[in-house]
Structure formats: C-alpha cells, structure tokens
C-alpha cells in the first residue's frame, strides 16, 4: 500500500479504485497553516463521530474524508473511515483505509480489528487471522478477540473441510427428505398437538403417485403468514414439503427466465428483504400477494442478517409452489451456503428446525434459483410527454432503448449487475449451468451477476466491497444497446431512498429492507412495471418488530465483528 497522498495531491486517477480516495482541499483550507489544518481535521473527526453514533454512516464518512484531506498523517481518521465503510458494506475500501492506518501506526488495535472484520465480511476468514493474532500480541489479555480468533479459525477449517467433501456428494438432501416424508421418519411426521396451519388435502401442484409431498392453497399461505407473525414455527414436515414444492418449480426454469407481462397487467419487483419479516409482510400488503394474474419478482437476498429469514424464505417458496409462473425469484449473493454460515441463516435454520437437514435442503434449493429474469412489455412505450405524472422520467424511460423487432421494452432484472467483459449476450446468461456450478465462486458470469455494483466513473473498476467489480455508465449503455434492454434493474446495495436511478436510469437499484439491520435509517422501495414498460417506484417505512436483534443466530463471536 502506498503512503497516504499529501494534502494537496489530486488523487484524480478517477477510473482507478477510490481505495484511498482523498478529497481536494478548498482554497480556504489551502490557506491554513499545518497546525490550523490539524485542528480543523480534528473538528471534522468530531463531527464525523457525531454522525456515526446516530447511524448516519455516509455523512460520517464524508467528515472523515475531509479530516484525511486536511491531515492525512492521523491514523485515527483512516481507521474511523474504515468503520463507516464496514457499515456501508464497502469492505474493499475498509481494508484499504485500515491498511493506511496501520502503515501510520502499526500498533493500532482498532485498525487491525476493522481490517479483520472486513475480511470476514467478504468471506475471506483466512485473511482475518493474522490481524486477530496481531491484536493479541499487543493485548494478550483481550478475551473477546481471543474467542473471535478461535471461532474464525474454526470457520476456516469448516469451509476447507466442506470444500474437500463437496466432490463426493451422494443422495441429494431433497431425496433424503422425500424419503423421510414418505416413511414418516426423521421428524417429518406432524404431531397431533400441532395447532398451526396444515397443507390442504384438496390443494394444487402435488406430484401424482406421491401424496406425501402434499398440495398447497392460497388459504394455507395466508394462515401460515399469520402464524409466523405470532412468532410460531412450522413443523419440519410442512417446511420440507414447501421447499420441495418450490424446488420442483425452479428446476424446470432456465438461468434466465423470460416473462412477458400479460396485457392489462403489471409486475412488481422487490429487492433485498434480508430476513426483515415484519417489513416483508407490510410490503406484501402494499403490492398484493402473487396470483394467477399478478406477478411478483423477488430479486434475491431474502435471507441473512435479519432474524426472520426462515419465515420470509418459506413464504416466498410457498408462493413459488402455488403460483410457479407468476412468483419469480432471482438468486442473490446471500442465497449461497458460505454467506449463510457467516450471516445468520444457517444458525437460524438450526435454531428453528434442529439438525442440519433443513439448511442442507435450503442450500440445494438456492442452487436451483434462476440467476436473472428478462421482463418484456407486450405493448410499445408511451411517448415521453404522455408518461403518467408518477412514472419514472429518467432518460432511459423517456427515450428508451427498445427491441428493434417489437418496438417494446425489456427490463433485465438481476441481483448484482453487469460483467467484466463486453458483449455478454442474454443467450450466454441463459446457458449458465447453475446446477453444475452450484456456488458463484470468485470469478465468472455467475459471480458477476450476483455481486457486481454500478459505479459513477466510466469503465470498470475494482469493487468497493472487495468482491465482484464496479461497472460504469458507458458499460451499462453498451450492454443495453447490445441486448436491446431498456433498463438493468438490480438490488444488492442499500439506497437511502429505497431506490436509485443511475447511469441515466439505465441502471436502477431497488432495495426493500427499510431501516436495514435496524440501523441504516433508509426507506424500502419496490418497482412496478406495466404492460407498456412504464416504470413506477413506491417507497415505504420500517415497521415495528419483536425485540430480536439482526444477526441473532449468526453465532456470538463472529456476529459481533460483523454488526
């Protein structure tokens, strides 16, 4: 890592990473003496600390950046900015800033801790180990960090062990579970004293000759949601039937699902909900449940972080089973087994169902979820002057790229974003064999679909997160023109207003977890697209929930490093 730039350096290599981004000094600041600059920097730091404790991380980061510009020799400013970046899920930047802090002060415990937390957050626990050890050298009696080092070491071993056995998989969990349901073994039998909803005997979407797999109805789902709201849990057998019902539906879908909005209808697109079940129920009340005619696309990251991931996952999967053609789901980077081990979903499955089987079944289910959806309008777009007052008016909507054959709009919906190379075609995306590849890994189209983020600078850049990449407005436009796509609609990043129109509206972000992690203070949002491809946004606020904190099931030592 290079030395921090001098206060007057321009740091203007704007296509490169903003890894050690230092803003320019104003003319007034330039005029200050070194001592005055140092004092002004401390004032910025204090202001930043004030924002930070109120959960205003972007504002806090801004202040620390100004402090760094005024006095780049103070390790605390870099380390505090790293703390903001951790909260903003910019782990790649946090690593860079913590490294700057450690260059200035090699015995700075907080900076080691923040860099370790960032490595853990991007599932590189191995890289966190040296920093945790460094802390213990400085503070041998730090019991918390000692416990965290032990837990992190265990996680590294577990991930390596599971990678090693992955090749010799035998019967898939879905096979084992189906057998348990048939034989009424393994906890599959629903106890007589169970007082919750039961799957109907006269429902739909059963499997001929296999009555033990059950059938489903809309009334069951309504009753299940009410039961969940009361804090109650479904028996194993019913949960398994729901997961298997959704799994069968996903298995028949390609990696790129194509959905044409029926004339007269519209589709809703929902972003990250991250286990915030009470917000999710409120959201479903606003958009209405899926039905034969009402399509809803859940754009990934419905599990992890929030402590009701099981409830959201089962609700979405029940809809998928009941309405397989109108309940659409894209996989997010959190519908992956490694993330679930760190961010709570695996622990939650164990706590709520006991044993390992249900999490393994969810892992198989997540692998089957499609990676993207192309939503097509059946009717040509309205001229811009006729767009309804409440419709999106970005350039991408007023002067849309349309399909040259039909004259209509296509929306490409994906959790993360675009790619590290040009001219990736829709056919290429559809041809990804997600069943063979299973997990997104560290490179390739699947990883990029699930992880990448838009960036304001043109071209491509390293990811602020340290995973995936950043793609600029020129990359988005070229890709949309190549594929005749009007809009890339993605999720994956919190936005203060719940949604954002970027890259002239060609790349939009929708995020549906309001007050993310009970701390970010953001609105949630959802999108609606009608038969002409007109795009509408709606925002909503967080709802009260029972007093269970985010990441409650993530496992003590590591959850404290990530929250």
Characterize 383-394 residue by residue with b for buried, 16 or more Cβ atoms within 10 angstroms of its Cβ, and e for exposed.
Answer: eeeebeeebbeb
- Complex with Mn ion: residue 225 or 414, whichever CB lies closer: 414
* Cα angle: 498, vertex 466, 457; to 5 degrees: 65
Compute the least distance from the CB of residue 54 to Mn ion, in Å.
Answer: 25
Compute the least distance from the CB of residue 166 to Mn ion, in Å.
Answer: 23
- Complex with Mn ion: residue 360 or 492, whichever CB lies closer: 492
Residue least distant from Mn ion (Cβ): 492
Compute the least distance from the CB of residue 300 to Mn ion, in Å.
Answer: 6
Q: Does 311 bind Mn ion (CB under 5 A)?
A: no
Stretch that binds Mn ion, among 105-113, 331-339, 503-511, 527-535 (CB under 5 A): 331-339
Q: Does 333 bind Mn ion (CB under 5 A)?
A: yes
What phi, psi does 359 have (nearest 5°)? -65, -40
- Complex with Mn ion: residue 312 or 357, whichever CB lies closer: 312
**Catalytic residue list contains 180:** no
Compute the least distance from the CB of residue 50 to Mn ion, in Å.
Answer: 29
Compute the least distance from the CB of residue 450 to Mn ion, in Å.
Answer: 7
Q: Are 413 and 431 in contact (CB under 8 A)?
A: no
Which residues does 9 contact at the CB level (< 8 Å), separation at least 6? 22
Compute the least distance from the CB of residue 415 to Mn ion, in Å.
Answer: 6
Q: Are 101 and 131 in contact (CB under 8 A)?
A: no
Compute the least distance from the CB of residue 438 to Mn ion, in Å.
Answer: 18
Stretch that binds Mn ion, among 200-208, 209-217, 295-303, 392-400 (CB under 5 A): 295-303
Q: Does 217 bind Mn ion (CB under 5 A)?
A: no
CA atoms 89, 94, 96, 97: torsion sign: positive
- Complex with Mn ion: residue 333 or 373, whichever CB lies closer: 333
| CA–CA distance, 253 with 251 (Å, rounded to integer) | 6
Considering the candidates 51, 274, 334, 503, report the single residue annotated as catalytic.
Answer: 334
Q: Contact with Mn ion (CB under 5 A): which of 492, 495, 503, 532?
A: 492
- Complex with Mn ion: residue 114 or 492, whichever CB lies closer: 492
- Report in angstroms the alpha-carbon separations of 156 from 126, 149, 304, 333: 6, 11, 20, 20
| CA–CA distance, 246 with 241 (Å, rounded to integer) | 9
CA atoms 69, 75, 80, 85: torsion sign: positive
Which residues does 401 contact at the CB level (< 8 Å), separation at least 6? 480, 481, 484, 485, 486, 506
**Max CA-CA distance within the chain?**
84
| CA–CA distance, 366 with 323 (Å, rounded to integer) | 18
Q: Are 456 and 473 in contact (CB under 8 A)?
A: yes
- Complex with Mn ion: residue 279 or 301, whichever CB lies closer: 301
Alpha helices in 201-235 (DSSP H): 218-229
SS3 at position 28 = helix
| CA–CA distance, 400 with 420 (Å, rounded to integer) | 24
Stretch that binds Mn ion, among 60-68, 249-257, 301-309, 477-485 (CB under 5 A): 301-309
Q: Does 327 bind Mn ion (CB under 5 A)?
A: no
Compute the least distance from the CB of residue 299 to Mn ion, in Å.
Answer: 9
Stretch that binds Mn ion, among 285-293, 328-336, 406-414, 461-469 (CB under 5 A): 328-336
SS3 at position 222 = helix
Angle between helices 277-287 and 309-322 (to 10 degrees): 30
Long-range CB contacts (within 8 A, 24+) of 104-112? 104/4, 104/73, 104/74, 104/75, 104/78, 105/75, 107/138, 108/75, 108/79, 109/135, 109/138, 109/139, 110/79, 110/83, 111/75, 111/78, 111/79, 111/82
Size of the site for Mn ion (CB under 5 A): 4
- Complex with Mn ion: residue 276 or 333, whichever CB lies closer: 333
Q: Are 513 and 519 in contact (CB under 8 A)?
A: no
Interaction with Mn ion in 127-166: which residues (CB under 5 A)?
none
Stretch that binds Mn ion, among 217-225, 327-335, 345-353, 519-527 (CB under 5 A): 327-335
Tokens of 263: 């004339």
- Complex with Mn ion: residue 341 or 492, whichever CB lies closer: 492
Strands (E) located in 423-516: 453-454, 460-462, 469-471, 487-490, 499-502, 507-510
Q: Does 301 bind Mn ion (CB under 5 A)?
A: yes
- Complex with Mn ion: residue 332 or 473, whichever CB lies closer: 332
- Complex with Mn ion: residue 20 or 328, whichever CB lies closer: 328
Contact pattern for Mn ion over residues 407 through 426, marking x by CB under 5 A: --------------------
Stretch that binds Mn ion, among 307-315, 335-343, 485-493, 552-560 (CB under 5 A): 485-493
Compute the least distance from the CB of residue 230 to Mn ion, in Å.
Answer: 29
Compute the least distance from the CB of residue 217 to Mn ion, in Å.
Answer: 32
| CA–CA distance, 198 with 187 (Å, rounded to integer) | 16
Stretch that binds Mn ion, among 87-95, 110-118, 195-203, 491-499 (CB under 5 A): 491-499
Residues marked as catalytic: 334
Q: Which residues of this protein are in contact with Mn ion, per CB under 5 A?
A: 301, 332-333, 492
């Amino acid at each position: 890592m290079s030395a921090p730039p001098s206060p007057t350096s321009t740091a203007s290599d704007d296509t490169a990473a903003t890894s050690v981004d230092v803003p320019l000094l104003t003319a007034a600041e330039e005029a200050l003496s070194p001592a005055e600059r140092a004092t002004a920097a401390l004032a910025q730091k204090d202001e930043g600390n004030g924002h930070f404790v109120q959960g205003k991380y972007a504002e806090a980061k801004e202040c620390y950046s100004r402090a760094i510009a005024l006095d780049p020799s103070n390790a605390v400013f870099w380390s505090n900015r790293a703390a903001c970046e951790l909260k903003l899920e910019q782990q790649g930047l946090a690593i860079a800033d913590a490294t700057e802090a450690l260059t200035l002060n090699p015995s700075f415990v907080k900076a080691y801790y923040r860099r370790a937390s960032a490595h853990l957050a991007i599932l590189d626990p191995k890289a966190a180990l040296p920093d945790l050890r460094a802390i213990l050298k400085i503070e041998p009696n730090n019991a918390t960090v000692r416990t965290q080092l032990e837990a992190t070491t265990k996680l590294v071993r577990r991930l390596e062990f599971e990678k090693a056995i992955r090749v010799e998989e035998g019967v898939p969990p879905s096979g084992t579970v189906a057998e348990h349901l048939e034989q009424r073994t393994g906890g599959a039998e629903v106890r007589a004293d169970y007082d919750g909803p039961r799957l109907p005997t006269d429902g739909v979407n059963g499997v001929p000759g296999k009555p033990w797999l059950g059938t489903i109805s809309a009334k069951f789902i309504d009753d299940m949601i009410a039961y969940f709201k009361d804090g109650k849990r479904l028996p194993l057998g019913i949960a398994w039937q729901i997961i298997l019902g959704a799994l069968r539906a996903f298995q028949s879908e390609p990696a790129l699902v194509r959905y044409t909005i029926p004339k007269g209808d519209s589709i809703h697109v929902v972003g990250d909900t991250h286990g915030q079940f009470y917000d999710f129920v409120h959201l479903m009340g606003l958009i209405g449940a899926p039905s034969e005619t009402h399509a809803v696309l859940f754009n990934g990251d419905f599990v992890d972080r929030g402590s009701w991931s099981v409830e959201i996952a089962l609700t979405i999967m029940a809809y998928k089973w009941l309405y397989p053609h109108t309940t659409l789901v894209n996989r997010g980077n959190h519908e992956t087994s490694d993330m679930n081990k760190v961010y709570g979903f695996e622990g939650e499955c164990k706590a709520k169902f006991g044993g390992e089987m249900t999490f393994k079944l969810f892992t198989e289910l997540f692998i089957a979820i499609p990676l993207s959806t192309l939503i097509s309008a059946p009717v040509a777009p309205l001229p811009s002057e006729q767009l309804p007052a409440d419709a999106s008016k970005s350039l991408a909507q007023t002067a849309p790229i349309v399909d040259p054959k039909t004259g209509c709009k296509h929306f490409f919906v994906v959790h993360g974003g675009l790619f590290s190379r040009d001219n990736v075609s829709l056919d290429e995306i559809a041809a990804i064999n997600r069943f063979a590849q299973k997990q997104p890994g560290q490179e390739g189209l699947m990883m990029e679909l699930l992880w990448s983020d838009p960036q304001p600078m043109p071209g491509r850049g390293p990811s602020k997160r340290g995973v995936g990449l950043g793609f600029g407005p020129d990359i988005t436009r070229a890709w949309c023109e190549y594929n005749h796509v009007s809009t890339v609609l993605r999720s994956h990043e919190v936005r203060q207003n719940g949604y954002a129109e970027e890259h002239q509206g060609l790349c939009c972000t929708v995020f549906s977890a309001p007050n993310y992690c009970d701390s970010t203070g953001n609105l949630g949002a959802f999108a609606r697209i009608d038969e002409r491809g007109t795009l509408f946004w709606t925002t909503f606020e967080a709802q009260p929930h029972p007093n269970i904190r985010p990441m409650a099931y993530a496992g003590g030592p590591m959850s404290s490093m990530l929250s």
